[in-house]
A and B are shown apart, each in its own frame.
Chain A
């Protein structure tokens, strides 16, 4: 792969990851949000694949396929199953309204670019300069987790944080050691399975997955 095509592909992939994170703040329908998450997983897998092909690293290519299977196919399917059973499958009024969340996402992007200067200076290649995209996606995911009320939206927030961290891992180090990446992907899958089970239990117990209803434990 030629240098500039490689850089272009990576840049596009990283930008799509960040874009998907911002779009999840924008859309209200939970089904649409989960589909955006699938697109983000796809972009992440493409980034990993591009790096793997460029560096001739077979392990990374395996990881890319794993990421594609887990984050773009399996996880969104599992979540969509939870969403489909929920009659009110739209995000109810979030704690911060949509335009303000979008502006906050812009501010968080700036913050991410400022905070990752030290890291990008350590990896001065064109790949390293894309690391702030991952950090911004992670921060946007964190924000989404904090300001959304539905259980599914919180699952989506966790996955956004995970995807952002995975993007940084791929870009910064051309992948962490295989065993750790495998463990990380497996854990993401397990977490989603656990969350789905819990969401089902919540729904059967409480009749809703609206986390606003869970207010019994507090000080």
Chain B
């Protein structure tokens, strides 16, 4: 029984994670918009407005460009699937998700990358000028963020002697002071910059822009309509929630469940929701006070993140 429960527990935990992230991802987006609206002096749409938008989109007609191939409808599905898989194996609520031993940091990143690569291809597939422009910009930013991300993962893995994400979170749990070392601080700083870049938030990309020439992500998905667009929105919301949840658990993992008991899972869920809400609100506040960086300055930003991560690696190697 215990062996079976040992197998079932993580699966239940992962399932909970996926449902929670899928549901609350859109609410997080709503929260970000609400905080921003309040700071700008508006009342703003209710928190569940993105959910309503997605529900509306699912009922609409499915429109596709004539020259689109099979990539176009496949991309949103793959996006949601890969993000869902990534959520399932990430230690968000508990440090024992399903396939815990396979939950490698590098694998996680490349799962996310698979989804966004396919989305970029779909942007090209649509055959319009804006789709291509958005795709090329998004891929450029992704390519620049990748070295920074890899070196950040190296820095964090070096500290925990493993690139298994639950192991890294465990290491932080057991040694709280290690978060204040220069190595971790540099790495977390770099990770924050990369998350902002990958998640398509200010100062890299403005998610609320309507001007095509300033769009990066929006231009990529400009041709999507109806259920496809709904899937894309859900996928992106889940992605942002996953990234923020991962960041929060790397910085301050206290409250996360270390077993897979029902009570621990419930506590972990509540704590995760609270932490992600706080970080999301902080991100929204930061966005209000930041201007969008011009596109040719984005490499500078990401190079800075790369060097920050490099400093993290170097200082960790030496100051042991």
Q: Which residues of A contact B (CB under 8 A)?
A: 4, 8, 11-12, 14-15, 18-19, 22-23, 26, 98-99, 102-103, 105-106, 109-110, 113, 120, 126, 129-130, 132-133
Contacts and interface: CB of A to CB of B under 8 A. Distances in A.
A18 B319 CA distance: 14
A124 to B, nearest CB: 12
Interface string B289-311: 00000000001101110111011
Nearest to B298: A99
Given A106-B306, A126-B319, A99 B185 contact: no
Contact of B307 (A12, A22, A133): A22
Given A15-B186, A99-B300, A105 B307 contact: yes
A15 B311 CA distance: 9
13 contacts: A8-B180, A11-B315, A18-B311, A19-B186, A19-B308, A19-B311, A22-B311, A98-B300, A98-B303, A103-B307, A109-B311, A113-B317, A133-B315
Contacts of A11: 181-182, 315, 319
A18 B180 CA distance: 16
B314 interface: yes
A110 B314 contact: yes
Contacts of B185: 12, 15
Contacts of B302: 99
B318 interface: yes
A15 B307 CA distance: 13
B190 to A, nearest CB: 11
Nearest to A103: B303
Contacts of B177: 4, 8
B303 A113 contact: no
B310 A109 contact: yes
Contacts of A133: 315
A143 to B, nearest CB: 12
Nearest first, the 7 A-B pairs at minimum CB distance are A15-B182, A99-B303, A102-B303, A106-B310, A98-B300, A102-B307, A106-B307
Interface residues of B, number: 21
B103 to A, nearest CB: 29
A106 B311 contact: yes
A120 B318 CA distance: 10
Interface of B: 177, 180-182, 185-186, 299-300, 302-304, 306-308, 310-311, 314-315, 317-319
Contacts of A102: 300, 303-304, 306-307
Interface centre among A23, A106, A130 (most CB of B within 10 A): A106
B150 to A, nearest CB: 14
A102 B148 CA distance: 12
Nearest to B301: A26
A14 B311 CA distance: 12
Contact of A12 (B182, B300, B304, B306): B182
Nearest to B178: A8
Nearest to A126: B319
B186 A113 contact: no
A126 B315 CA distance: 12
A109 B314 CA distance: 8
Given A15-B186, A26-B300, A129 B311 contact: no
A133 B311 CA distance: 10
A137 to B, nearest CB: 11
Given A15-B185, A105-B307, A109-B314, A129 B180 contact: no
Contacts of A15: 182, 185-186, 311, 315
Contacts of A4: 177
Nearest to B314: A109
A148 to B, nearest CB: 15
A14 B182 contact: yes
Contact of B319 (A22, A110, A130): A130
A12 to B, nearest CB: 6
A156 B304 CA distance: 19
A98 B300 CA distance: 6
Nearest to A16: B182
B311 A132 contact: no
Nearest to A9: B180
B186 A129 contact: no
Contacts of B180: 8, 12
Contacts of B299: 99
A130 B311 CA distance: 13
Contacts of A120: 318
A121 to B, nearest CB: 12
A105 B180 CA distance: 23
Contact of A113 (B181, B300, B304, B314): B314
Given A106-B310, A129-B319, 17 more contacts: A11-B181, A11-B182, A11-B315, A12-B185, A15-B311, A19-B308, A19-B311, A22-B304, A22-B308, A26-B300, A99-B302, A102-B307, A103-B307, A106-B306, A106-B307, A126-B319, A132-B318
